[in-house]
Structure 1
Amino acid sequence: MAIHVLGIRHHGPGSARHVKEYLEKIKPDIVLVEGPPEADNILEWVGHEHLNPPVAILAYQPDSPHKAVFYPFAEFSPEWQAILYARRNKIPVKFMDLPTVHKFELKNEPPSHSATVKEEPPVINSMSLPFTPEARAVKRNPLACLAAAAGFHDEEAWWEHMFEYRQDQQQVFEAIIEGIHALRTELDLPYDREEQLREAHMRKIIRQAEKEMYTEIAVVCGAWHAPALAHMPKAKDDNDLLKGLSKVKIATTWVPWTYNRLSFDSGYGAGINSPGWYEHNWRYPTDDGTRWMSRVARLFREQQKDISVAHVLEAVRLSTALTALRELPRPGLEELNEATLSVLCNGEDIMMQLINNELIVSDKIGAVPSDIPRPPLQTDIEKQQKRLRLPQTADYKDYVLDLRKETDLDRSILLHRMELLDIKWGQRYGVTGKGTFKEQWRLQWDPELSIDIIEKGSLGNTVEEAANRYVKQEALTATSLKAVCTLLESAIPAELGTAIDVLVRQINNLAAATGDVMQLMTVIPGLVQTSRYGNVRRTDAGMIEGIITGMITRICISLPSACVAVAEDAATELLELVYNMNDAILILQDTSLTEEWQDTLFRIAGTDSTSPVIGGYATRLLTDHRRISGDELVRAFSFAMSSSSPPATAAAWLEGFLKGSGTLLLVDNDLWAVVYNWMQQLSEDTFKQLLPLLRRTFSSFSKAERRKLGEKAKNGTTGANGINAISDTDFDSIRAQKGIPVVMQMLGIKQI
């Protein structure tokens, strides 16, 4: 009976190659792999033609899906190759790590004194090393000491050159056990309870395999655990350690994974820096850099950058020379990158980011068979993704949807429903042009969306059912009218019929119960925009029009009194609401509602106690609606800007009247004259006090408007054409009569 402990690096191509060759050599009758034992029942899918790595095992609590963990695998992962070997040779394969049922509960346990992690940095004997690595680096990765002993400043580079690029696997696993055993013995490193439990459970599974009379037991584990499994203590010690552990229910399934999520930068603890490069190294272990440089050249040519064969050859030569200077066995990624930067990029590192994204990391995504057991909601989503031709991609992809087309409309409905469920697959962007028949979405699949899908699976077995139930639950518990209206805005494009009925009733109830006119005005613009979907979508948005009509009536009744005795900050907020309300009325194009709104503006503008800025804006809106013009407008303007009004009040009224545009002052000389005369009668001190307010008023105008108003102010009381206006008393009739004969002669009219 023999136990073969193979210490590896997770997701290392060289480790995977050594494991594969070693297993083919010893021909074990059982393979034990570091991983969650709950997933033993889904290992049968490994080797399936449609299970293509990168993939991950998702382990989660069905009653609390946010408690979940992923176990990723790439084609070059040693664990994947070990499982694949066992499946192809029809021998048993099992996971042996501490069950996830215990790990979840360990997170909730209070820390004990025995499990406290030591904060002191490890003591390193610098006399035996060419240089002393940083204590923090050793604490993070103890292999830094072995790397320092070999003359490497970077432990990652040392491991790659010693193990991942190594072609001969002879005694490599014995060397790993010996080296890691020395580190664990000599270094005073933190050793927490979970790590002890994990190794105790691994040894327990190995002993169980021995009891089952397996003679050649292959154990594939992380290199750090190898000595603990090769030199096992008494079984009683491990059993005592594992007693009394709490348990929870766990479910497992396979999900697609991406190289982006496999990288260390994604936050994955066992991640690697270069998944794309590792895949290349797995497929072409003897590549001297020529194949890699050819891929870089192809990528640059796709970006319209001129790269010749001579560039590639020179880059390969330079990487080989760097390898020789550094006394390395073969070119690594660092040498190839330096050669690429010097030869292909001419020293400019901007293109290196492209190489990193496309080749070194890559955006590859895996696939799982459609018949793998999974939650019903996830099955429905994948079915609709396939029907609507919306594939899951690791890199983002943009879609511009024309809602007049059946397929694009169905795509939009699916994306809106998933957005409602907070499954963030797509992000909406603004579309240029007029109309409501287009949407732009950017889609990017994240493997962690699987957790969100499982979590929302309790709401229903289909996207439509889950979205309907989610919206109804939110609507019935909401106490804010704005929150319910926001839900309605989202439910209309998602075509959630039953949920919309509930939302409409809830809005009616909340609107009838509230006396806050500002709250009603806040939700009206959104409801009006929502009603427009009836022109493009299949949903009957006319059901909202009754709500809008009733709410506008309530607003028109209450608004005039709400504009009286308002503080400056509240007046500014109310002014924006009136502005948005007027736009909503214009969009509706309902004659009766428009007249009702205009009558309300008359009452606001005609009340002396109305906030000046709101009264001025109400007058301006009546002018835009052509309800006030000519002499009536001049009288209203003159009254508000008269010397009897306090300067600050007049300035606030002017700010409201000119909100958004100063064109009226350019085309109406009478209004300009009123403002001009008002400004003339201000004292210097009063003018200085009002200057910030006036500056704020005119700063909202366009540059062209400000320029023309400045020219007009420079010329005094002028007409729209910039020529000084002339009063009747300055008219010279005798001089004008002298020009009449000349004009009549030019027109060919005979004088009598």
Structure 2
Amino acid sequence: MAIHILGIRHHGPGSARNVKQFLEQIKPDIVLVEGPPEADGILQWVTDKELVLPVAILCFQPENPQQAVFYPFAEFSPEWQAIQYARKNNIHVRFIDLPISHKFALDAAKEATTPAPADDADNTSQLNSDQDEAQQPLSPTGEEFTESIDPKNLRRDPIHELALAAGYDDGEKWWEHMVEYRKDTSAIFEAVEEMMGALREAYPNADDNMEQLREAHMRKVIRQAEKEMFGNIAVICGAWHAPALKDMPKAKEDIDLLKGLPKVKVECTWIPWTYNRLSFASGYGAGIRSPGWYEHIWHHPHDDGTRWMARVAKLFREQQMDTSVAHVMEAVRLSQSLAALRNLPKAGLEELNEATLSVLCMGENILLSLVNDQLIISDRIGNVPTEIPKPPLQLDIERLQKKLRLPATAEQKEYTLDLRKETDLQRSIFLHRLRLLKLKWGNQSSVSGKGTFKELWTLQWDPAFSIDIIEKGTWGNTVEEAAAKFVMQEAAMSDELRVVCSLLEKSIPANLPAAVEALINGINNLAATSDDVVQLMEVIPALVNVSRYGNVRNTDTTLVMGIVDSMITRICISLPAACVSVDEDAAEHLLELFRKMTEAVNLLQDEALTDQWQQTLKLIAGSSSTAPVISGYATRLLSDYRQLQGDDLVKRFYQSMSPALPPATAAAWLEGFLKGIGTILLLDEGLWSVVNSWLDQLPEDVFMQVLPLLRRTFAHFSQPERRKLGEKAKHGGTGIKSRQTITELDIERAVQGIPVVMKLFNYPIQIPQ
């Protein structure tokens, strides 16, 4: 009976090639792979033609889908090559790691006994890798990586000391050149096992209980395979675990260690993965820095750099950048020279990047970032067979993605939707529903131009959405059903009018009639019981904005407008009292609400509501109890409405800016009156005349008192506005410099320009005689 322990680097192309060659040589009758035993039942899909790498096994807790873990695989993953070998040769294959059901239960127990962090961070998500800590980059052996070495935590980068002894400052680079790029692979697994055994002996880590449980369970499965009379056993595991599986203690020790472990229910499935998520930058724990490069090494292990540079040159040419064959040849020579100077057996990615930067990029780092995104990392995304069991909600999402021609890709794609077209309208509804479910596949951006019939969306699929889809699947089996129920539940749990109005604004473009009706009823009930006029004013713009979707989306907004009418009436009744005795911060907030309220009323174009709002502004502006800054702003709005102009406006202005009033009161009124009207002062000669005349008639001593207040008011204008106002005052209020009057006209010269002018307007040319 033979047991072969193959210590590997997770996602290492050299390790994957060594595993494949070793298995073909020893021809085992069972293959044991480090991974979740709960996923044994879905290994049947490994050889399916529709399963395209990269993919990942998703293990999750049905009662708490956010409690989940991913096990990604790429073509160059040693574990994948081992599983493929077993399935193609029809031999047994099993996962041997500690069951996820135990790990989830242990994590939950640990979290229950751990005090919550001070910043109340959300720690509910457990999107871990196949290692202990999800967000830590790992060493070449697949173990967690840290920059500093502490004997207590050496396993986080167990080969760092060996790399230093060999003259490397990076354990990752040392491992690549010694293992992944190695040509002579004879006895490589024995060497790795001996190396890790020495490190484990020198730096024991007896305090890591989870690691002991994992290795104990691996040994338990190996013993079980022996009892089942498998005579040739191959075990593929992370290099750090190899010595622990080679020299096994007594079975009773492992049984006692694993006895009584808690467990929870766990389900597993396959999901597409991306190279971007496989990279260090994504936060995946067992990630690698350069999955695209590793794929290249897997397919072309003996490439001296020529093939890689040819791919770089092709990428640059696609971007309309001149790159010749001479550039490629020179870059390859430079990378090989760098490798020789550094005493390396061959040029690695670092040397190739430096050569690319110097020769092909002309020293421009921005071009090298293009290589990093497109080739070194790559945006490759996998695919899984449609027959694989999936939650109903995920099936509906995939069906709609296919129907609406919105593929889930790892690269960013922009879509400009014209809502007057049926397909684009359905796309918009679908994306808005996903946003309501908090599935942020698409980010909406503003579109230039007037109208509401266009939307700009940027889509980029993230494999982690699978967790959110499973979680939201409890609300319904279709996107429409789940979005409607989720929104109604969110509204039912909130007693804030602002929150419910925001949900309504998002639900209208999602075309959810049942949810919209429930939200409108909720708003009506909350508005009827609310006596906070500020809260009512805060939600009016959102509700009025809903009406803008009526024409383009064929949405009935009659109920919404009924609520808006009643709320505006209540605001107009209560607002004058709310503008009395307010502090500076509250007044500033009210001014912003006044502006938005005015815009909303203007948007409605309802004569009765407009008249009601104007009457309210008159009460506020004419009351001596109103805060001065609000009174000034209300006066300005009345001026904009042409309800206060001419002598009446001048009279109100001089009353409010009377020298008998305290300077602070006058300054506050003036600040409100001039708020945000730098451009209007330039365009409205009547308003300019009032302000200019008042300043012109001020006595010198009063003017000196008011000047600092004026400077504070004008400081809120933009610099171009202040400059143009100064020019207007300098040139007598016109803002236009006097021009020399043309007394003589050169007829002959003017006639020569007429054909050009006529041609611009496509008029028939008739030259006067």
TM-score w.r.t. length of structure 2: 0.87
Give 1:720 shift: 4.3
Distance change >3 Å, CA 473–CA 110, structure 1 → 2:
closer
The answer to whether the Cα contact below 8 Å between 1:35 and 1:97 also exists between their aligned partners in 2 is yes
Give 1:658 shift: 2.1
| Counterparts of 2:397 and 2:727, CA distance in 1 | 63
Distance change >3 Å, CA 316–CA 670, structure 1 → 2:
closer
The answer to whether the Cα contact below 8 Å between 1:641 and 1:678 also exists between their aligned partners in 2 is no
Aligned to 2:485: 469
Larger displacement relative to structure 2 (212-221 or 246-255)? 212-221
Aligned 1:380-399 pairs, distance under 5 A? 380-399=396-415
Aligned to 1:47: 47
Residues 213-236 of structure 1 deviation map (CA, whole Å, 9 limit, x = unaligned): 111111111111111112211111
Aligned 1:452-463 pairs, distance under 5 A? 452-463=468-479
Distance change >3 Å, CA 484–CA 134, structure 1 → 2:
closer
The answer to whether the Cα contact below 8 Å between 2:695 and 2:703 also exists between their aligned partners in 1 is no
Aligned 1:221-620 pairs, distance under 5 A? 221-620=237-636
**Alignment pair present for 1:74 and 2:74:** yes
Distance change >3 Å, CA 571–CA 682, structure 1 → 2:
farther
Give 1:286 shift: 1.3
| Counterparts of 1:538 and 1:22, CA distance in 2 | 66
| Counterparts of 1:192 and 1:704, CA distance in 2 | 65
Counterpart of 1:7 in 2: which secondary structure? strand
Residues 376-406 of structure 1 deviation map (CA, whole Å, 9 limit, x = unaligned): 1111111111111111111211111111111
Residues 436-460 of structure 1 deviation map (CA, whole Å, 9 limit, x = unaligned): 1111111111111111111111111
The answer to whether the Cα contact below 8 Å between 1:712 and 1:722 also exists between their aligned partners in 2 is yes
Residues 151-205 of structure 1 deviation map (CA, whole Å, 9 limit, x = unaligned): 3332212211121112333211111111111111223446511111111111111
Distance change >3 Å, CA 696–CA 410, structure 1 → 2:
farther
Task: Pick the structure with greater CA Rg.
Answer: 1
Structure 1, unpaired ranges of 5+:
118-132, 725-752
The answer to whether the Cα contact below 8 Å between 1:106 and 1:194 also exists between their aligned partners in 2 is no
Partner AA of 1:84 in structure 2: Q
Give 1:584 shift: 0.5
| Counterparts of 1:462 and 1:76, CA distance in 2 | 37
The answer to whether the Cα contact below 8 Å between 1:29 and 1:217 also exists between their aligned partners in 2 is yes
| Counterparts of 2:348 and 2:737, CA distance in 1 | 79
| Counterparts of 2:61 and 2:652, CA distance in 1 | 71
Residues 714-745 of structure 1 deviation map (CA, whole Å, 9 limit, x = unaligned): 57xx5547899xxxxxxxxxxxxxxxxxxxxx
Aligned to 2:706: 687
Distance change >3 Å, CA 138–CA 245, structure 1 → 2:
closer
The answer to whether the Cα contact below 8 Å between 2:292 and 2:375 also exists between their aligned partners in 1 is yes
Aligned to 1:643: 659
**Alignment pair present for 1:671 and 2:687:** no
| Counterparts of 2:571 and 2:274, CA distance in 1 | 53
| Counterparts of 2:737 and 2:185, CA distance in 1 | 95
Distance change >3 Å, CA 649–CA 134, structure 1 → 2:
closer
Structure 2, unpaired ranges of 5+:
114-131, 133-147, 739-769
| Counterparts of 1:185 and 1:723, CA distance in 2 | 89
The answer to whether the Cα contact below 8 Å between 2:727 and 2:735 also exists between their aligned partners in 1 is no
Counterpart of 2:4 in 1: which secondary structure? strand
Larger displacement relative to structure 2 (668-677 or 277-286)? 668-677
Partner AA of 2:685 in structure 1: V
Aligned to 2:744: none
Aligned to 1:23: 23
Residues 607-661 of structure 1 deviation map (CA, whole Å, 9 limit, x = unaligned): 2222222222222222222222222222222222233333322222222222222
Residues 521-546 of structure 1 deviation map (CA, whole Å, 9 limit, x = unaligned): 11101111111111211322232100
Residues 254-310 of structure 1 deviation map (CA, whole Å, 9 limit, x = unaligned): 111111111123222211111110000001111111100100111122222221111
Give 1:674 shift: 4.2
Partner AA of 2:566 in structure 1: G
| Counterparts of 1:635 and 1:470, CA distance in 2 | 57
| Counterparts of 2:84 and 2:221, CA distance in 1 | 20
The answer to whether the Cα contact below 8 Å between 1:643 and 1:678 also exists between their aligned partners in 2 is no
Give 1:41 shift: 0.4
Residues 30-61 of structure 1 deviation map (CA, whole Å, 9 limit, x = unaligned): 11100000000000000111111111000010
| Counterparts of 2:9 and 2:689, CA distance in 1 | 84
| Counterparts of 1:164 and 1:723, CA distance in 2 | 76
The answer to whether the Cα contact below 8 Å between 1:485 and 1:526 also exists between their aligned partners in 2 is yes
Aligned to 2:95: 95
Partner AA of 1:271 in structure 2: G
**Alignment pair present for 1:11 and 2:29:** no
Distance change >3 Å, CA 110–CA 411, structure 1 → 2:
closer
TM-score w.r.t. length of structure 1: 0.89
| Counterparts of 2:735 and 2:404, CA distance in 1 | 60
The answer to whether the Cα contact below 8 Å between 2:275 and 2:381 also exists between their aligned partners in 1 is yes
The answer to whether the Cα contact below 8 Å between 1:146 and 1:179 also exists between their aligned partners in 2 is no
Larger displacement relative to structure 2 (666-675 or 370-379)? 666-675
